[in-house]
Chains A and B, each alone.
Chain A
Amino acid sequence: MVRDSKTALVALNRFGFGARGGASGDFVNAASDPRGFVKAELNRPNGVLLEVPGLQSTPALAKAVFEYQFEQQQAREAAAKSGAEAKPTEAPPAGDAKPQRRNLSLSNIAQDISPKEPAMQPPATRGNAAMAPSEGSPNPAMQPNAAKPPQQPLNVIQKTFRAEALARLQRASLAECGFVERLVVFWSNHFCISASKGGLARMWAGSFEREAIRPYVLGRFGDMLKAVEQHPAMLFFLDNQQSLGPDSRAGQNRKRGLNENLAREIMELHTLGVGGGYTQDDVTSLARIITGWSFAGRQAQLGPPGSFVFNANAHQPGPQTVMGKVYQDNGVAQGEAVLADIARHPSTAKFIVTKFARHFVADDPPPALVARLQETFSKTDGDLKALAITLVDSNEAWDAPLTKVRSPYEFLVASGRLLARIPEDPTRYLGGLNVLGQPLWSPAGPNGFPDTNAAWAAPEGMKLRLDISAQIASRLAEGIDPRDLLELAAADAASEETRHTVERAESRQQALALLLMSPEFQRR
């Protein structure tokens, strides 16, 4: 039974998002057939797609954001104009300052008694840092001494981002094992964009994942690659819509030229990897080849706003050589042919499967496992479902000790699941991810978030994780028995030490915080 429990822990934590609390029976199910438990999700038709009412396509979102930005601009212009004519009337007229009866308001009182010590001065954003599903919409009155002015209504970009985040969090919270969602997160981070690039990227972060990642997570790598590199979000993120073929009509007219950003990251980060056998000349060639890969703007000259377009006017004419092979200029197909070839390149197979094994198994994955994954990847022409099955069928993935520390996202989702919370508001998760250094869909660079213990088990990170755990516990520990929760999370796989630590904690809150921080919960 102890062995089964350990295997169940691998199934739940290494491959999934951890056991759900309540009456899910996850641990028992995982223990009775660990491999079957993990693989079951792979066979659900459309189980990987995220089709939620209210989530819109990239072009529809583009239309909304263009309209919003247009309105903003109009308002600014109008304000500038009237400001020039009339005297500034920023401050309300003195007569308007009615003497207000001081109602009993918690937020007022909280402001009065807000700490005066400099170390406790509230910053511009605060509160909401603890993750975990809040029971309702955030109530400004419950965020005392917020330094913000009265709550501004969310704009369309913020609303969209939150709705996309919520849909993803709910899916992860509800999944049985969560293996497919873990795969989505892996591939989404591999082909990351960053929402911090600007309004469009923030608007499209969710739709990018739904449209370019999810449909191919159990499909072919080459198809995902093409979908990603032609997605407006990626083209915007890596500036390809600005890249002009030097000899193209647009390049000639505007005296502007190539931007190698996307081409370089395709080779370095998305496929071949550093040292994968390409040269600077290959990067430049690929950059020329994908000139014209763009998306329609607000004017909709080439297509519906926010849809992928091939702009022949910007495309560098003529054949190009990439890694020793000549590609004739046949428009958009020229670049598609290059992508198809490098998707099959042995360097790509090696780079991708190593990263894949590193994510799921160990920072230094067992070479035999990497070799087997590479064989699958090459033999099946990049069939990602076959890759996932090879991983789950391997012995290495089950025998390797649970050495990896959960990423902040995995940790917060696993905590919510164990506490049987289905998020109805993403605020606390988003805040927690910010604090822990993994802001949703917003890595610092195109290489995505790191995937090693050095990144996530760092001193400051562990201290913060403890603080977040304490916050979660202080909100959610009432009425639960941490001993039962440890049973649901790890059963017999829980060490004596952890069991004692939880049992001897001085309060439910402390017990839950310690449980969430225990190696059994943190390692996967």
Chain B
Amino acid sequence: MDCCEGQTSLATSRRALLLGGASFAAWAYLPKFARAADGRDPRLIVVILRGALDGLATVAPTGDPDYAPLHGSIALTSDGPHAALMLDSFFALHPAMPEFARMYREKHAAVIHAVATSYRDRSHFDGQDVLESGFAGPGRVQSGWLNRALQALPKGERVMSALAVGPTTPLVLRGAAPTVGWTPAALPQAGDDTAMRLVELYQHLDPALASALTQGLLLDKAAQGDDMKPKPGTNGAAAMRLVARGAAKLMAADDGPRIAALAFDGWDTHANEGGPVGRLAQLLSGLDGALAEFEGGLGARWRDTVVVVATEFGRTVRINGTEGTDHGTGTIALLAGGAVKGGRVISDWPSLKPASLYQGRDLLPTTDLRAVIKGVLRDQFGLAERVLAETVFPDSAAAKPMQGLVA
């Protein structure tokens, strides 16, 4: 009579049931590249930061006299105990990103500043739709630009045959080209940001649930010990590294996927964003760690790799009343990888003078993100400009592929 099912889980720590991190998905085929002749075996990783990254807090225009007053208490400085890392005489990198700084010095990382998609409103969902679908406007969620780019590549052998698609594929990689997925461990616990939003909602609507949830969260923290330690298994820094480590390992294999996408959540820093240390710093440290994992895990393949880091839009130039920033427009994109022609901040800087701000509040975008991605896709995979302008990013002929991003 000892044939019970599923009972053991009752005795198991429920914490253990809820491990995990972000998800990762990849193309199911090896591409056959026309340029295989020259021995290059290019790889591309697209990292989506959901929630809108504060580009001005990540790569700070410390040389712009309006930056420090506008970004206020969370502005980065080039001196002091947590000094930002100077990328050139004008831009400084957040101190939580030493790995990216090193890659930049080694000329394998670049920043594109004052960049944006074609989306000009401030809804996360719609902004993410545009970023990932590659269409000029929101509401197109059937396929993503990366998937359409795959369809234009000559497909080779199938990788990881017989593997089911993972729990979710980011929109950017969804579409007709088959993909495979993998999720480290199980699925994530709710992130702290989600929990805080819910506590706030309950405080307005349902004090009893607010009290219960608050206590539950406190218990949970106590059970984990040190509050400040990044929690493994959440979207904390450790989980970001974990996902990247797994993805890199898969992609490093001879018959591993060459093109992949993953998403990290948590960048919607409306309150207590923090400056050189704090909430955003933790996230950036996770991203920095993830890039280092890619570099380490891909080994010799890193030479032919480009990682594109992009977000749906930026955040307000002026900090708000809760030491954070609200939804904005212009932001940054990051490129990292051995194939990147790096060591540069690429920017047609619009300045932060009041008159230069977009709608008087946001960094004015001067570079179309599609131009950046198109440049990478063309140089990395030899995709034709017409395909890029018509199929991959429909109606984007005006955004010409940026030149010389790939070495």
Contact = CB atoms under 8 A, between A and B. Distances in A.
Nearest to B255: A104
A477 B168 contact: yes
Given A120-B185, A460-B219, A461-B216, A104 B190 contact: no
B184 A126 contact: no
B7 A442 contact: yes
Contacts of A161: 5
Contacts of B201: 497-498, 501, 514, 518-519
Interface string A477-491: 111011100000000
B interface residue count range (under 10 / 10 to 19 / 20 to 34 / 35 or more): 35 or more
A104 B161 CA distance: 9
B194 A466 contact: yes
A475 B187 contact: yes
Interface in A75-129: 104-106, 109-110, 112-115, 117, 119-129
A518 B209 CA distance: 10
A354 interface: no
Given A129-B187, A199-B1, A466 B195 contact: yes
Given A126-B16, A434-B9, A115 B212 contact: no
Interface string B10-42: 101111111100010000000000000000000
A266 B125 CA distance: 55
B164 interface: yes
Interface string A489-505: 00000010110010111
A142 interface: yes
Interface stretch (B169-177, B328-336, B369-377): B169-177
B260 to A, nearest CB: 13
Contact of A508 (B128, B174, B183): B128
B271 interface: no
B51 interface: yes
Nearest to A124: B8
Contacts of B250: 104, 106, 109
A400 to B, nearest CB: 16
B405 to A, nearest CB: 27
Contacts of A476: 168
B402 interface: no
A514 B14 CA distance: 21
Nearest to A119: B232
Contact of A505 (B13, B124, B166, B232): B124
A122 B8 CA distance: 13
A463 B216 contact: yes
Contacts of B398: none
Interface residues of A, number: 92
A202 B3 contact: yes
A195 interface: yes
Contacts of B23: 474
A294 interface: no
A467 B124 contact: no
Interface string A138-180: 0101101100000000110110011000000000000000000
B168 A478 contact: yes
Contacts of A458: 212, 216
Contact of A125 (B9, B50, B166, B168): B9
Given A113-B245, A120-B19, A509-B265, A459 B216 contact: yes
Contact of A119 (B1, B190, B214, B224): B224
Contacts, number: 266
A130 interface: yes
A459 B219 contact: yes
Nearest to B126: A481
B207 to A, nearest CB: 10
Contacts of B163: 106, 139, 141-142
A207 to B, nearest CB: 16
Contacts of A109: 246, 249-250, 253
Nearest to A497: B204
B141 interface: yes
A511 B125 contact: yes
Interface in B223-241: 224, 232-233, 238
Contacts of A123: 9, 12-13, 16-17
Most chain-A Cβ atoms within 10 A of its Cβ — which of B2, B124, B217, B256? B124
B220 interface: yes
A510 B400 CA distance: 34
B52 interface: yes
A458 B169 CA distance: 34
B182 A113 contact: no
B4 interface: yes
B187 A474 contact: yes
A144 B184 contact: yes
Given A435-B17, A474-B23, A510-B193, A106 B184 contact: no
Contacts of B141: 479
B186 interface: yes
Nearest to A139: B164
B213 A462 contact: yes
Contacts of B220: 460, 463
21 contacts: A104-B256, A113-B184, A122-B16, A122-B185, A123-B17, A126-B185, A142-B164, A142-B167, A458-B216, A464-B14, A466-B195, A466-B198, A470-B188, A474-B188, A497-B204, A505-B268, A506-B268, A507-B124, A509-B265, A510-B197, A513-B194
Interface of B: 1-10, 12-19, 23, 50-52, 123-125, 128, 141, 159-160, 162-164, 166-171, 174, 180, 182-191, 193-195, 197-198, 200-202, 204-206, 208-209, 212-220, 224, 232-233, 238, 242, 245-246, 249-250, 253, 255-256, 265-268
Pairs A-B, 5 closest by C-beta atoms = A463-B216, A506-B268, A506-B51, A470-B190, A459-B215
